[in-house]
Structure 1
Amino acid sequence: MQIKDAIFNWLQIQIVWDARPSDRSAKDTATFFEQMLKEDHQVLNLTSTQDKEAACYVVEYEQNGEKQKQMFPKELAEKLLQDILQEPKYN
């Protein structure tokens, strides 16, 4: 899996876990993607913040000793959470 895809997948499930802290599946999946990023791409210190002015999420991390940053549109990043919230069997 390409690093950008893995980071995006981690971000989406992290947003779900943040919104639903008791969701064990979200926690396990976020941990899985974080571990994949560490092992496959040598990513450390992975964090995300929301930039409300730019309507995006900013993911920052270290890779091979260098600080990196990727940005994702808010609407895209929150799509998984919105899909889960709209599905009655998950609520």
Structure 2
Amino acid sequence: MSRSNDGESQGSKGPTATGGSDFLQLDLGQAPAGGRTQWLAGRLRAAIADGTLPVGTRLPASRVLAAELRVSRGLVTEAYQRLAESGQVAGRGRGGTVVVA
């Protein structure tokens, strides 16, 4: 039996990266023990810079990404916050976190 929306949110605009960690092949084993937040923010920042995550892409929900990476939701939220502070992503409420630059 197949899903009707194939993992994409109905009514969303732009591409989505809602598949969790698979969208960048993130491997937490590569992260230094004391710098996981910085590592995750850096990987996302690099993906934005090289076009892997183009403007308009919605990042995975923090709960989804945290569960897949087996880290706390706070770690993912902090990484997203660092990207927001540098102007690379913006929170869109129910629309998720979206790449803006």
TM-score between the two structures when normalised by the length of structure 2: 0.27
- Higher normalized strand content (fraction of residues): 1
Higher relative CO (Cα under 8 Å, sequence separation at least 6) belongs to 2
